[in-house]
Amino acid sequence: MSAPRLEIDLGKIEHNARALVGRLSARGIAVTGVTKATLGSPEIAQAMLRGGVVRLADSRIENIEALRRAGVSASMTLIRSPMLSQVDRVVAHADVSFNTELDVLGRLSSVAMQAGKSHGVVLMVELGDLREGILPADLEHFVSEALCLPNIALKGIGTNLACRSGVVPGRENMAELSALADSIDATYGLELEIVSGGNSANLGWGFGSTKMGRINDLRLGEALLLGCDPLTRQPIEGLDTDAITLTAEVIEAKLKPSLPWGEIGQFAFGEPPPVADRGPVWQTILALGRQDVDPEGLRPPTGLTVLGASSDHLIVDHRPLRLPVGGEVSFQLNYSALLRAMTSPFVIKVVVGGSRAAPIAATLDDRSVPSNCPDPRVGPPAA
């Protein structure tokens, strides 16, 4: 099988979705499945839907369009504020969009009116993470303006935390969002359909809190795909953390000094990291580079150390054994690595169906591997 490749077990993603939907529905919270890290994969979207997510969401209209072309009919939300240059496409293909600018709302209204459609909007509120959002003091004005726009349906409000500044979703900021929803309903005689509390980083709050307030939706991507809590990168109990693996092929294996020689300057991506003298090492090169993946986001198997990466090469040490040229090494990934690998045209995507117990294709190692985030599989090395 060709490499590098992502091997995607749809059964495990479906299992993760079903497990999270079940736990959160008991607390009155629905799950929106976020497909942005999958490049709009219809197979992965359908696995999420089979697991019970109520709608799909993506940050790129191009991915939503791809899902529509593939025949996915579920409700879809654009979760990045629409670009003015793409408003026509947003109205045509997204049922709902997240918004923070009145100019954009005005254009959405005009286009929707011309198309004879109603377009749903969720107003995003800034609660401290300093990414997108309307300041709470300005929200009432935005609501009043949105309610006056023809062919615009105000679906709800939402917020996003932990993505830019690492602000943790918790009791206080979720209570503030709930209070804002209550105030809007009371002021305008509404009953907001969606109060979206955030993303996979909200799960610690969602599982631990006894008071959900008005929060009735979470947008989950990383937890469905990788089974990990973004705040801690630790496994979430009951979820599969090996639904997606990245496999690369060995193209060189040589015994080399561990220290470079000659005058040292910057390397292709900035200042080189410090290197310790460990004597001669079996330096192995994999056909995988920064153009394909975020090397800092790879989770190497036990015994393998990532030494560095260039555009097209990943250099690893697997002491004391030598990995054979033509052999393969499989890694698990964090969200950053997954995002880049999924969008690289040089990384093949292999989808595996079946139940959550079905083996992933081309796994080379039959040793028992604990189900946790940092422990992937690797083919047996040759001496």
Q: Which residues are tagged catalytic?
A: 36
**Residues 241, 221, 298: CA angle, nearest 5 degrees:** 50
**Furthest C-alpha separation in the chain:** 73
What is the spatial distance between Cα 177 and Cα 157, in angstroms, rounded to a whole number? 8
The residue among 324, 232, 340, 237 whose CA lies nearest residue 288 is 340
Residues contacting 143, CB < 8 A, separation 6+: 123, 154, 184, 187, 188
Cβ 170 vs Cβ 205: under 8 Å: yes
Beta bridge partners of 352: 9
Q: In the chain, what is the straight-line distance between the N-terminal and C-terminal CA atoms, in Å?
A: 23
Residue with tokens 């994969």: 41
Cβ 216 vs Cβ 155: under 8 Å: no
Residues contacting 158, CB < 8 A, separation 6+: 98, 122, 123, 124, 125, 177, 194, 195, 196, 197, 198, 217
What the block records as the tokens of 166 is 């690492």
